[in-house]
Amino acid sequence: MNRLTILLITALAPIAWGTTYLVTTELLPVGHPMFAGLLRSLPAGLIAVAVSRTLPRGGWWFKSFALGALNIGAFFPLLFLAAERLPGGVAAAVAGVQPLIVLSLGTLVLKERIRPMTAAAAVAGAGGVALVVLGPAARLDALGILAALGGVTATALGMILTKRWGRPVGVGPVGYAGWQLAAGGLLQLPLTLLVEGTPASIDSGAVLGYLWLATAGGIIAYTLWFRGIQKLPMIASGLLALLSPVVATLLGTLVAGESFTPIQAVGFAIALLALIGGQLSVRPAQNLQPPLVDPNAATALTVGR
């Protein structure tokens, strides 16, 4: 599979995540971001683990819960909190800083060399989405912005560790994603029940919303995303995160009636150019990085075989 195909398949994940904000504001009960994160992760994770029939073993128990805490357990509640307190486009647009975080952490942890074109693309992408955030109609709730920033920082670190630790031999992408979704959901479960509880009522629209988030935005998106991270240079997948704010704001404008100004249009153009330019700046030799394999990879435990 060539790099372009891997990029296109991996890009489906942030495109799916870009729908989260519209689904949250239009379909889900208000005031239950932790419950939304729980339903998005735990059922899908348990089903994926059951289908794959694999469980972590040895050091992978710790790694699975660490990755699950960063990519799922912390990210989901903060994501839904931001989606509730900010317009869809603004909430997702804060994700534009993620390539900068990924670039910095990738240099420190993975020792990846920063190329001038790559750094310029990350900065331009962040600047482009900033134009969206700072649009005249933007409602900049401080807690919402902090939640969005905290979420993208957590998942950026999760991306770096996913790349560093790789995936055990004998464990497929679905099982690997299931480990993290289940672990993140289990970490959210007690806090959700103690702090937030369950909504008083869940209508048919909310059921559809939860199903969409758990499938397209959950197990399917994360299976494609983790697989892409392990095959692509870190910054290449990091820049794909810019697709999420693009999709979210377009949906917010077309469906939710949010305003879209010429300044925001310029910001989107910059973000898209940064995304394309950043991918082109990756050296051909780095196009298909093999996933890092744990020396104890054979410790994956097969269940029911």
Domain-located, residue 217: yes
Total number of domains in the chain = 1
Domain-located, residue 265: yes
- Residue with structure tokens 């559809």? 208
Which residue range is the domain that position 233 belongs to?
3-288
Domain-located, residue 212: yes
pTM: 0.81
Report pLDDT digits (tens) over 257-293.
666 678 777 887 887 788 777 777 665 444 444 444 5
Domain-located, residue 41: yes
Helix axes 243-254, 3-17, angle to 10 degrees: 50
- Please report the pLDDT score of residue 298 as a whole number: 38
Domain-located, residue 294: no
Report pLDDT digits (tens) over 163-211.
889 999 889 999 999 999 999 999 999 989 998 889 998 999 999 999 9
* CA count, 13 A, side-chain hemisphere, 268: 19
**Residue 272, Cβ density class (10 Å: 0-12 exposed, 13-18 middle, ≥19 buried):** middle
Domain-located, residue 195: yes
Domain-located, residue 304: no
Domain-located, residue 301: no
- Please report the pLDDT score of residue 89 as a whole number: 56
* Low-confidence residues in the chain, pLDDT < 70: 87-95, 112, 132-140, 256-260, 281-305
